[in-house]
C-alpha cells in the first residue's frame, strides 16, 4: 500500500499546540478554521485562542445577567453588571494584543458580545426601569438606542483599518452604556423606582437615551486612550492623582461615573467645534 493511502492516525498534534482527538462531539460541532498571515505566507489555523475569548465570554455573561436582573426589578445589580462587562471588554482586546493572540474569530465574537452588553442590555434595563410606562415613546427610544449601537459597531468594524487609532468616530458603545447604567444606578439609590419615579423624569431619561444613541453614530471625534503606555514611567504626581481618583469614586460610585461619562460624551461635540473654529481661523 502506498504511504499516501495510509489512514491518518486518530490522534495527531496540530500547529495550534493542542491535541486533536476525534470525539462524538466532532460530528455536531465542526472545528473552526481561519486564514492567518505568518512570515509573509497565508496559512490556515484550527481552533480558537482561549484566554482573550474567556474575557469576551465574561463580558457577554455580564450583559446577559444585567438583563435578567432588570427583569427581576433589581436595578442596582443590573447597572453594576454592565460596568463589569466594560471591565471584561477592556481586558480581552488588551490581553489579545499583549499575548499576540488576536484573531478574526475573536474580533467578531467581541463585536457580538458588545452588541449584547452595550446595546441590548442597557436598552432593556432602562426600558424596564423608566421607559415601560411611556407607551410607544418609551419602546421607540429604547429601540433607537439599540439600533444606533448596532450601527456604531458595524461602522467601527468596517473602518477599523482606515481610521486614526487615537480617536473614535462617534461615542464608543461602552461609554454610552455607562451613561445609561449610571443614570439608572443613581436614580435607584435615590429611591426613584416604579411608582416613585416621576413621569417628567421618565421623559427626560427617554430623551437622554435617544441622545446618547445618536451620539454613537454622530461624526464626533472621541479620544480613544489607546496610546497610553501603562508600562512606561510617569511623574510621581500621576500616582497621587490616581489615588485621589479612587478616593473620589468610593464616595459615590454611580454619581462619579455618571459625571465622568457625561463629560466624555460632551467632549466629542466640543472637540468638533474646536477643530472647526481652528480651520476657519486657518
- Between the alpha carbon of residue 100 and those of residues 55, 107, 161, 229, 232, the distances in Å are 15, 13, 18, 17, 20
Cell numbers for 168, please give them: 473614535
42, 23 Cβ separation under 8 angstroms: no
Output the tens digit of pLDDT for each of the chain's 282 residues.
444 444 444 444 444 445 445 555 566 766 666 665 555 666 566 667 788 899 999 999 999 999 999 999 999 999 999 999 999 999 988 888 888 888 888 889 999 999 999 999 999 999 999 999 999 999 999 999 999 999 999 998 888 766 667 889 999 999 999 999 999 999 999 999 887 889 999 999 999 999 999 999 999 999 988 777 767 787 888 889 889 988 988 889 999 999 999 999 999 999 999 888 877 776
Domain residue spans in the chain? 50-227
CATH class assigned to 50-227: mainly alpha
Closest among 278, 170, 184, 271 to 214, alpha carbons compared: 170
Q: Is the Cβ–Cβ distance between 201 and 130 less than 8 Å?
A: yes
- Residue 115 CA to residue 124 CA, distance in Å, equals 12
pTM of the model: 0.85
Strand pairing partners for 38? 41
Amino acid at each position: 500500500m502506498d504511504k499516501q493511502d495510509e489512514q491518518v492516525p486518530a490522534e495527531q498534534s496540530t500547529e495550534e499546540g493542542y491535541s486533536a482527538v476525534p470525539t462524538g462531539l466532532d460530528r455536531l460541532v465542526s472545528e473552526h478554521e481561519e486564514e492567518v498571515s505568518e512570515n509573509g505566507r497565508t496559512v490556515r489555523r484550527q481552533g480558537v485562542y482561549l484566554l482573550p475569548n474567556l474575557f469576551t465570554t465574561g463580558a457577554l455573561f455580564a450583559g446577559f445577567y444585567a438583563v435578567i436582573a432588570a427583569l427581576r426589578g433589581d436595578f442596582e445589580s443590573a447597572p453594576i453588571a454592565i460596568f463589569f462587562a466594560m471591565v471584561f471588554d477592556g481586558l480581552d482586546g488588551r490581553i489579545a494584543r499583549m499575548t499576540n493572540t488576536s484573531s478574526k474569530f475573536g474580533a467578531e465574537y467581541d463585536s457580538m458580545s458588545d452588541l449584547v452588553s452595550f446595546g441590548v442590555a442597557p436598552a432593556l434595563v432602562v426600558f424596564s426601569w423608566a421607559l415601560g410606562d411611556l407607551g410607544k415613546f418609551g419602546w421607540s427610544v429604547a429601540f433607537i438606542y439599540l439600533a444606533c449601537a448596532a450601527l456604531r459597531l458595524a461602522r467601527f468594524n468596517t473602518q477599523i483599518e482606515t481610521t486614526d487609532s487615537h480617536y473614535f468616530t462617534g461615542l464608543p458603545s461602552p461609554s454610552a452604556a455607562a451613561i445609561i447604567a449610571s443614570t439608572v444606578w443613581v436614580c435607584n439609590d435615590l429611591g426613584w423606582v416604579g411608582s416613585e419615579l416621576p413621569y417628567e423624569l421618565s421623559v427626560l431619561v427617554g430623551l437622554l437615551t435617544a441622545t446618547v444613541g445618536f451620539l454613537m453614530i454622530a461624526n464626533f471625534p472621541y479620544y480613544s486612550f489607546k496610546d497610553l503606555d501603562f508600562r512606561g514611567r510617569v511623574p510621581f504626581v500621576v500616582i497621587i492623582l490616581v489615588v485621589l481618583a479612587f478616593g473620589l469614586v468610593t464616595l459615590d460610585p454611580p454619581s462619579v461615573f455618571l459625571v465622568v461619562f457625561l463629560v466624555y460624551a460632551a467632549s466629542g461635540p466640543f472637540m468638533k467645534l474646536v477643530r472647526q473654529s481652528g480651520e476657519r481661523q486657518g
